[in-house]
Amino acid sequence: MLFPKKLRQDEGNVESALVLIPLLILFMISVELIVATNLRNSDFALAQADASRRAISGEVRASDQVIELDSPDSFAHMKVLVSHRKHSLPQLVPGLMSLIGGHAVVEVNGVAVMETLN
């Protein structure tokens, strides 16, 4: 008689455990999305700052791209520096990226107008 009474006291524990596992996975996925968004925004700010600094100083790296914009007007010759930045993301949920079929990499570009030295 003691055993069935003990089972009735534990009602709801199995259901809460079954709900807790998917809820934890959903929480980890949302945290991974937040981390990825914040890392992308900070990488974008760093790439833009790096492009601006190098456009002012005239330093061009091999990974950079310089685009020359010419116009029929003689005063409208401009150069635009495009810098690239690539960063891998931490994986908080193991196997999530392989399940989605993507890569855990953030790739951003920074763009700045190069200063002409006279």
pLDDT tens sequence across 53-94: 988 888 888 888 888 887 776 666 788 999 998 888 877 777
Reduce the DSSP state of residue 59 to 3 states and report it. coil
Contacts of 89 (CB under 8 A, 6+ apart): 32, 35, 36, 39, 104, 105, 106
CA–CA separation, 27 vs 39, rounded Å? 18
Inside any domain, residue 7: no
Inside any domain, residue 1: no
Inside any domain, residue 118: no
Inside any domain, residue 84: yes
What is the domain range of residue 80?
A: 12-113
Inside any domain, residue 99: yes
Taking CA atoms, 4 is separated from 10, 11, 14, 77, in Å, by: 10, 11, 16, 87
CA–CA separation, 69 vs 52, rounded Å? 18
Inside any domain, residue 104: yes
Segment 9-17 mean pLDDT: 69
Taking CA atoms, 24 is separated from 3, 8, 27, in Å, by: 32, 27, 5
| Domain count within the chain | 1
Inside any domain, residue 67: yes
The predicted structure's pLDDT at residue 62: 86
How many alpha carbons fall within 13 Å on the CB side of residue 58? 4
Q: How many residues does the structure list for the chain?
A: 118
